[in-house]
Amino acid sequence: MLFKTPWPMETEKAQLELKARTVGKIVGKLGLLASGLGESDLSAGPEFAASLAKEANFYWLSANVLDKNGKKPFHSHMLVDVGGVRVGLFGITSTLTGSAPGQQGLAQSEPIAVAREEIAFLRPKCEVLVCLSHMGLAADQELARQTAGIDVIVGGHSREMTTEPIVAGSTLVVQAFSQGKYVGRLDLDMPRVPGVPPTWHFVRSGQAPPADPKLSRFTAAFVALDKKMGEDAAIVADIKSYNEAVAKLVVSAKPPAGAPPVPGSTTPTQQPLGPPPPAGTFTYWGVPLCASCHVEQSKFWEGTVHARAIDILKKKNRVNDQECIGCHTTGFREPGGFDIPARMAGFENVQCEACHGPGLDHGKGSMAKRGSAEATCRRCHDKSNSPDFDYAAMLPIMSCPKMQRAPK
């Protein structure tokens, strides 16, 4: 929930921690009760995660994460009343390696054995038992098969979207993709008979419920948090404050002395990330140099959204957001490219070299497409950023005119 990766780069830590605190503030306003702990929630360490949850008034749940003393640094479970129904929740995590910076000193005990202990403790105390799992969809189904007594497993980690909940024995297994892009809703009608596990029946939209009143019924829905949703003024204000704070983070980020200039610039702003090119050369040449030979292709490119990609971020005041600029610029975190927003000059927009590779290779006679065209596109137009991206439909729209071979 908090971070995209358990391995944040030094140059992005300040922004990511600022974003995590903003996320915490927002989910607190949304009324989040509890969240299953995942490996990326620990990117800034367990103390940071714990303090953020305390500020936002929600609980991390993980019954099997242990500190160096063998103690549990987070809550294992909780019991809450929901509309007069006693609900038990517990968390299970199985994705820690212990090697990522924020996981130093942490370990995890065997998840299924711990889940059985939690079930034994909670089941007599509640009417509905929910496991908040961060193990992945396949592992969640295995957990359902190897245990008895969990009514619902709400999972994460594998970033799946179970548009129809998976019925595994007497357990419903669901996931709602990742990073709050969707909200999943699961309604349960459980005329539970003590000691008898539920027999689930999925009541789809427009379908009549089963005649047998003893059957446990459920309905499920997924709602995309997209532009069609209304906006909450307080949350919009939080996001605006975050964007303004991110913009301030780069003010003091100055290029180091001796860094070579970027294409078309006499100012030393480019910080190479790999072996430096030969003296007096650029790894990336930039559109102006490409256009000096490839006139037809450059004119076509100027009419595409790729040529205005950075403007999208400028309009949203997110031009300094390190989680966004990689897909709106060229050469971000590439050898010979740039590594922070303050060194972006000359790399703005999705230029020729984003698809074809650095111009220095062209000068060496090895210019070619950077891998397959589809793989190149999907580095940014992935399931997370562009869930409706249609590669086959977009390719002819975005592909530059073919080069004409010179007559022999």
* Tokens (6 digits) for 82: 């929901």
CA distance 206 to 208: 7
Domain boundary among 199, 224, 249: 224
**172 and 266 together in one domain:** no
Kindly state whether residues 192 and 286 are assigned to the same domain.
no
Looking at the domain assignment, is residue 237 inside a domain? no
CATH (domain of 213): 3.60.21.10
Together in a domain, 219 and 319: no
Mean pLDDT, to the nearest integer, of 311-336? 91
Q: Give yes or no: residues 52 and 191 share one domain.
A: yes
Helix (H) or strand (E) holding 389: none
Comparing CA positions, the residue from 85, 92, 17 lying closest to residue 51 is: 17
- Shared domain for 270 and 154, answered yes or no, is no
Do residue 216 and residue 265 come from a single domain? no
* Residue-wise pLDDT tens digits, 11-67: 888 899 999 999 999 999 999 999 999 999 999 999 999 999 999 999 999 999 999
**What b/e sequence results for 119-153 when a residue is b if at least 16 CB atoms lie within 10 Å of its CB, and e otherwise?**
beebeeebebbbbbbbbbbebbbebbeebebbbbb
Number of domains composing the chain: 2
What would the pLDDT profile of 141-167 be if each residue is shown by its tens digit?
999 999 999 999 999 998 888 888 999
Question: pLDDT at position 280, please?
Answer: 52
d(CA 180, CA 168): 25
State the Cα–Cα distance between residues 131 and 173, nearest whole angstrom.
9
**Cα 24 off chain centre by:** 15
Radius of gyration of the CA atoms of the chain, in A: 26
Return the ∠ at Cα 97 (arms to 92 and 98), rounded to 5°. Answer: 100
Q: Is the pLDDT of residue 284 over 80?
A: yes
The pTM score is 0.78
For residue 221, the cross-strand partners are 185
Tell whether 384 and 319 lie within a shared domain. Answer: yes
| Mean pLDDT of all residues belonging to the chain | 85
pLDDT at residue 365 in the model: 65
Query: What integer is the mean pLDDT of 94-115?
Result: 92
Residue with the larger pLDDT of the pair 286 and 370: 286
More confident residue, 264 or 223: 223
In a domain, 404, yes or no: no
Q: Are residues 117 and 162 in the same domain?
A: yes
Q: Give the DSSP H or E segment for 140.
A: helix 137-146
Who wins on pLDDT, 37 or 257?
37
- Residue 84 belongs to what domain range? 10-224
Q: Domain for residue 135, yes or no?
A: yes
Classify residue 231: in a domain, yes or no. Answer: no
